Amino acid sequence: MRFHNHVISLMDEGTYGEKIRELGVPITSIGMKRGVPTLLSCNKLLKTVKEAVPDIIQGWMYHGNFAAYFAQRYAASKSHLLWNIRHSLYDLSYEKGTTRFVIKTNRFFSAKPIRILYNSRISRRQHEDFGFSSKRGMVIPNGIDVEKFVPCPEKARLVRTQLAIPDNAFVIGHVARFHPMKDHHLFLRSAAKLAKKYNNIYFLLCGRNVVPENMKLLSAIPQSLCQRFIFLGERHDIPELFCAMDCFSSSSYGEGFPNVVGEAMASGIPCVVTNVGDSAYIVGDAGIVVPPRDSLALAAGLEKIFLMTDDERKQLQKKARARIVERFSLSAIVKQYIDIYESIFQGQLG
């Protein structure tokens, strides 16, 4: 193996600890309390890093970035420091107090890492506008598993049967947790306009708290149309659900790199997205981009996909998947990380 990895988790192993270990990658938990570093946890971090003797220390998110700087500064001064930021920064007031402090601390030390890797162009611009070092920034987008997210007519038929969706229905999907920034109400207002106009359009929504019992969602839909809105809550079979959709919508007014758009496109689904974060860049010419917080524009974009001929829609489906495979597949993104590491070892980064 060209690179040998060692994962250090500041708290416990979390959801992915066992999966990481199954890959043959050692993982060490520092056991830090949330937001409360102690002398004991700091000593354990430094001891772990000293024993690993790393060539590269890579932080992951704000707290991990500061811990990586601390470890490189006091335990592995000859190693190279990388940071990774997976977060958009629309407004610092959206963050918790401790997180605001850590973000400001990151800003102060942002000239220390050899590179700051952002997962979206909007994130890089926002952080550099906030004062992060512009000389260190670089964008490597999220990777999409194009073998997991793939079109499958058989799964589409199975899901539609399970959810009692008619064979001739046109299904528009929406996948997001219930959160103001995801703007479910915008989507539902747009969807209601289409549902009144066309009786064969169904809407499939899933995500945490996106359930029939959520009256904040139901209040946006006329009661006479409710039977065509399916709320599934949080699900773990998203690849299968994508297969049952004919179109996908992201209605957010704030995003960084929305994985769900890339996953939908990899599944061969044309997307209509709001122009936030890197959504327009992900979609390119393989979908439709509309302004955020504009229900008329979103409804018009969805209607345009609905009114396409079968051949037009199939061409868009192929184009959507091809764009993700070419630009955002896991293999393509992994290669970008490998290139960074190789450049560090060859002394090409400074």
Same fold, 7-142+330-345 and 153-327: yes
* pLDDT (average), residues 299-313: 97
pLDDT in tens, 271-295: 999 999 999 999 999 999 999 999 9
Q: What does the pLDDT look like over 198-219, one tens digit per residue?
A: 999 999 999 999 999 999 998 8
Which stretch of DSSP H or E encloses residue 70?
helix 61-74
The pLDDT of residue 1 is 56
Residue 324 has pLDDT above 60, yes or no: yes
Domain ranges of the chain: 7-142+330-345, 153-327
pLDDT at residue 35 in the model: 65
- Give residue for tokens 């039977």: 227
pLDDT tens-digit readout, 127-158: 999 999 999 999 999 999 999 999 999 999 99
Average pLDDT, the chain: 94
Beta-bridged to residue 316, according to DSSP, are none
Tokens of 135: 């000389």
Helices (H) and strands (E) in the chain, counts: 14, 12
Instruction: Inform me whether the pLDDT recorded for 73 exceeds 60.
Output: yes
**Top CATH class, 7-142+330-345:** alpha beta
Q: How many CA atoms lie within 13 A of 121 on its CB side?
A: 6
Average pLDDT of the segment spanning 161-166:
96
At the top level of CATH, the class of 153-327 is alpha beta
pLDDT at 38: 82
Instruction: Kindly state the tokens that stand for 142.
Output: 């999220």
Report which residue type is found at 339. Answer: D
pLDDT digits (tens, 9 = 90+) for 11-48: 988 888 999 999 999 999 998 887 677 888 899 999 99
